[in-house]
Structure 1
Amino acid sequence: MAIRESLRELGLQLSLLNRQVGAHLELKDVDLDCLDLVNAHGPLTPTALARRAGLHPATLTGVLDRLERGGWVVRERDPADRRAVQVRAVRERNAELLGLFAGMNASLDRICDGYDQAELDLLAGFLRRTGDAGAEAVSELAGEDASRRPRSR
């Protein structure tokens, strides 16, 4: 099916782009994934981040140590529960990250300019549902209850 082949190629190209971005920033792939999750859904507790990233908490500790040393995230006490810790992205670093994605973002803007709003809404819905299906597949492989998995925005 052409859709599956196209999605597979898109996934591969985005993975390669992320690898190049990570190399420029001296971040491992998993570090960049976790940073993206914190930027998109944070602040998050380390437990919530580990669950979203599909990582063992001990593995996540090493990831957070690297991200914190690099100035990408901070671990702060939760104002609602001083015993809990939240991971927050350092927004001032985002310009550097976004600059590396600028070429891809400009290309996406040009591509989207060729579609009307109804077509863009249809495509966005398809991609959201595809992302949800991917999250469900990850949960199944990880042996989790898919109903507990966070859905895309």
Structure 2
Amino acid sequence: MESVPPDGVAEPATRAQSTTAIKKGLRDLGLGLSLLNRKVGARLALKDVDLDCLDLISAYGPLGPNALARRAGVHPATVTGIVDRLENAGWVVREPDPADRRGTLVRALRDRTGELLEHFGGMTASVEEICASYPPEELAVLADFLRRTAEAGHLAAAELTRP
């Protein structure tokens, strides 16, 4: 039987039910974010993988092509086409790698960031509103859960790439 808190929203009664609800929520979140990314990519004329790589470059860059390939989980030869498309569309530039004069780094062009973020504005505002409804100590637990879950996803993906 489910307990009903004062706000009238039923909560799962057992750890197993809660875990099942969390897994469903993560699956629904993943699907929702994939749909959002596809819609944003379509508006910006970017393939899904191009948008993913642009996000990686923005978050962790500048990156060399091999580092980008590892983070994106794509073949290094595929990265060449991705970076070509992003560069031709004015999202990134290639620069010499100061640590290796034969290498290059890919850097996101910050003047395009606003254009990109504009398309995610509705989601960003919704997340801000949701976060405002939780006390700081619960936000810390949620942040830890999401960090650990993302790490588990990266490890699971790495396992699938092993022969």
Number of aligned residue pairs: give it.
144
Any gaps of 5 or more consecutive residues in structure 1? 145-153
Q: Which residue matches 2:144?
A: 125
Q: Which residue matches 1:15?
A: 34
Query: Under a length normalisation based on structure 2, what TM-score does the superposition of the two structures give?
Result: 0.87
CA distance in 1 between partners of 2:76 and 2:37 (Å):
23
% of aligned pairs identical? 64
Q: Which residue matches 1:134?
A: 153
Kindly indicate whether residue 57 of structure 2 is the aligned counterpart of residue 38 of structure 1: yes
Q: Which residue matches 2:116?
A: 97
Deviation at 1:81, TM superposition (A): 2.2
Deviation at 1:79, TM superposition (A): 1.9
Matched residue of 1:44: which SS?
coil
Aligned partner (choices 74, 80, 84) of residue 93 of structure 2: 74
Aligned partner (choices 46, 49, 53) of residue 72 of structure 2: 53
Kindly indicate whether residue 138 of structure 2 is the aligned counterpart of residue 116 of structure 1: no
CA distance in 1 between partners of 2:131 and 2:125 (Å):
10
Kindly indicate whether residue 27 of structure 2 is the aligned counterpart of residue 3 of structure 1: no
CA RMSD of aligned residues (A): 0.9
CA distance in 1 between partners of 2:124 and 2:155 (Å):
27
CA distance in 1 between partners of 2:133 and 2:160 (Å):
37
CA distance in 1 between partners of 2:99 and 2:57 (Å):
19
Displaced runs of 4 or more, over 6 A = none
